[in-house]
Amino acid sequence: KQEVTQIPAALSVPEGENLVLNCSFTDSAIYNLQWFRQDPGKGLTSLLLIQSSQREQTSGRLNASLDKSSGRSTLYIAASQPGDSATYLCAGRISSGSARQLTFGSGTQLTVLP
């Protein structure tokens, strides 16, 4: 069974800093991995979807990487801003199974201090 882990559970950084959020998964037969942002009391907003055939995916100040062999994905946030404060969740799909359902990590709560 695929397990997805995100460490640390919480992170606090000063504004302007570049930062990396980590996501590890146990099943290297991963089909793709999706990063989400969740604001307090809100739903999930999809940030990036990275396929197993890709190594990186970029959107604005965000860059996600995927390394199947090491079982890791990272989300890089450049020049962080207070508005980036939120919980970031990663979720992976394994290749087997008819529906390739998402398995979520517990998230990293990011606080960017002004």
Partner 1 sequence: NAGVTQTPKFQVLKTGQSMTLQCAQDMNHNSMYWYRQDPGMGLRLIYYSASEGTTDKGEVPNGYNVSRLNKREFSLRLESAAPSQTSVYFCASSEHTGGYEQYFGPGTRLTVT
In the complex, what is the shortest distance from the CB of residue 52 to partner 1, in angstroms, rounded to a whole number?
9
Q: What is the DSSP letter of 95?
A: S
**Position 80 contacts partner 1 (CB under 8 A):** no
Q: Which residue in 12, 18, 28, 45 binds partner 1 (CB under 8 A)?
A: 45
Under a CB-based contact definition with an 8 Å cutoff, are residues 33 and 25 in contact? yes
CA atoms within 13 A on the CB side of 34: 14
Question: Is residue 46 near partner 1 by the rule CB under 8 A?
Answer: yes
Q: Is residue 49 a contact residue for partner 1 (CB under 8 A)?
A: yes
Q: Rounded CA gap, 7 and 90, in Å?
A: 11
CB of 100 to partner 1, least distance (A): 5
The helix, strand and coil proportions of the chain, stated in percent and rounded to the nearest 5, come to 5, 55, 40
Residues contributing to the site for partner 1 (CB under 8 A): 4, 31-32, 34, 36, 41-46, 49, 51, 89, 91, 93, 98-102, 104-107
